[in-house]
Chain A
Amino acid sequence: MAGTIAGQDRRKAFMLLSPAYLWLTVAVFLPLSAMAYFSFLSEVPFDGRDWHFTIANYRAFFETGTYATLLWKSLKLGLVVTAVSVVIGFPCAYVLAKVVKGRAREALFLLVILPFWSNSLVRIFSWAIVLRGNGVLDRAVNAVLPWDVKLNLMFSPTAIVIGLVHSYLPYVILTSYLALQAIDDSLIEAARSLGAKRRTILWRLILPLAAPGIIAGAVLIFVPVVGSFMEPRLLGGRLGTYYGTVIEDQFVAVFNWPLGAALSFILLAVVLAILAAASPVLKRAAT
């Protein structure tokens, strides 16, 4: 193509692309930069208040230990929720991809990922109703078991894990399903006809081939769980103080925005490190 046509081409592409990317710049990339700037301020610079540059907000994180402990608590929560989701979700994806056939599969698949696109806040709220003492779960368990049990999971770490697994389970089912579907059935047939045991096929063939999908799902779960605050608040009660809820407090209760910005930025660094570490696998899973 001649230079002028290429130039015209580029102008058209620019005109079509710039509104979308301008929007993303104003609403996402500039705010993230502003947050980085804010995290080094001593005071919110509005209403003519005195402020100066400081690293005190970051020192608060590294010196007091409170915030680091909470970040660690959130990371552990992320690990537990991710592990439970993978262990529960992978077999489900396997049944969908390799056992169920035809139209039934389509319908079931849709049913499994449908809740993922519905309101997460409302789904957490629904668990609050199920789990509360003398609630539905309590009644159901007591109706089945002959002896009397007091089951009050509400406002416990278990409740938070149940709610989060419920929220994010469809992610890992979706990504594992896509990876499993790409495995040719004849490969499994071949291994079987050569005398491989079921367990060998699972560990040496299916799991390695599905690994990118599983890892992609795990990352997609881990990242938002580490930054969660609504779920611990609603299901954890007084025990529900996590790294995310502390950030929330800085913005809506304590109004220490610079500290909140610094804490958010540290979380962003952790998240980006995880995404970067997983990016080769994520790229493979996307193709």
Chain B
Amino acid sequence: MSNRFLAHLGRAYLGLILFFLYAPILVMAAMSLNASEFYQLPFKFSGEWYDRLWNNREILAAAGRSIWIAVVVTVLATTLGTAASIALYRHDFPGKRILQALLFPPIAIPWLITGTAMLIFFFGIGIGRGTPAVIIGHVALALPYVIVVVSARLASFDRVLEEAARSLGASAWQVTRAVTVPWILPGIIAGGLFAFAVSFDQFVVSYFLSEPGDTTLPVLIYTSIRKGFTPEINAISTIIIAVSMGLMLLAARFTKFGGDR
């Protein structure tokens, strides 16, 4: 077999993988525009399900709740995470490696365990279920991602710039505001988009922490699917996928995604 033939074969394989990854999503999107309620083929175009979605109070309320929770989580996680990243970058102190290692449990432990543990603890201390509990949980899940992304950006920051500003008489806060933060801004924006995505797409932790009847969008979708699904769910799911993929494309513009540019 020649090298060129192998290269073609490789590209075809890559195409097959992409087909596997995207085909079901496209089918779902197509079915949200199909007239049949039972996903019957042949395909007949209809915007009915989007119309119905627009009039479905329950779904719209859940979507609104999901969005504002994600906004609050983004602000909190980005602020706390950026502060922590700057401290980890600027200062050396005993126990720093332990603090960095502590970022991994929230990412590495299955959300089922974290979610049920939060449920128990929040009930124990009186927060209980509901939106505040969901926000507290989401921020904790998003924080490590923000710190990792912002720290990666800080790694390319030249400390001499801070020292120069300091020697010219700027206070530590001025240096942070006028020198450090502008430089790492792409990292902060990317971190914020990740935080938004972590919260907006989060199902498991929200599932255990949200109050029935007062849920986030993914939880509502899960309970609706288990009751028997309708094309309305396809419609809202299609919108969700488009939103979260759009967000990530945006984040990719602000961060290196492991590619070599």
Contacts and interface: CB of A to CB of B under 8 A. Distances in A.
A268 to B, nearest CB: 5
Interface residues of A, number: 88
A108 to B, nearest CB: 7
Q: Which of A46, A96, A223, A251 has the most CB of B within 10 A?
A: A251
Contacts of B21: 111-112, 115, 166, 169-170
B139 interface: yes
Interface stretch (A27-35, A53-61, A62-70): A27-35
Contacts of B123: 46
Contacts of A83: none
A128 B80 contact: no
Given A100-B11, A264-B112, A130 B241 contact: no
A27 B120 contact: no
A27 B244 contact: no
Contacts of A174: 258
A35 B118 CA distance: 8
A35 B86 contact: no
Contact of A19 (B7, B80, B118, B252): B80
Interface string B1-30: 000000100110110011011111101100
Contact of A166 (B24, B102, B252): B24
Interface in B101-119: 102-103, 105-106, 108-114, 116-119
Contact of B28 (A92, A125, A233): A125
Contact of A34 (B10, B109, B124): B124
Contact of A127 (B24, B86, B143, B222): B24
B225 A125 contact: yes
A155 interface: no
Q: B interface, by DSSP: helix, strand, loop or mixed?
A: helix
A91 interface: yes
A227 B121 CA distance: 20
A114 B245 contact: yes
B226 interface: yes
Interface stretch (B50-58, B88-96, B154-162): B88-96
Interface string B181-223: 0000000000000000100110110011000000000100110
B145 to A, nearest CB: 11
B60 interface: no
B179 interface: no
Nearest to A234: B225
A35 B110 CA distance: 14
B117 A24 contact: no
Given A19-B83, A88-B17, A119-B244, A24 B222 contact: no
A117 interface: yes
A96 B14 contact: yes
A17 interface: yes
Nearest to B233: A125
A13 interface: yes
B62 to A, nearest CB: 13
Given A21-B102, A234-B225, 10 more contacts: A17-B99, A20-B80, A21-B99, A26-B140, A28-B106, A28-B114, A32-B113, A92-B17, A111-B18, A119-B200
Interface of B: 7, 10-11, 13-14, 17-18, 20-25, 27-28, 31, 39, 41, 80-81, 83-84, 86-88, 90-91, 93, 99, 102-103, 105-106, 108-114, 116-124, 136-137, 139-140, 143, 147, 172, 197, 200-201, 203-204, 207-208, 218, 221-222, 225-226, 229, 233-234, 237, 240-241, 244-245, 247-249, 251-252, 257-261
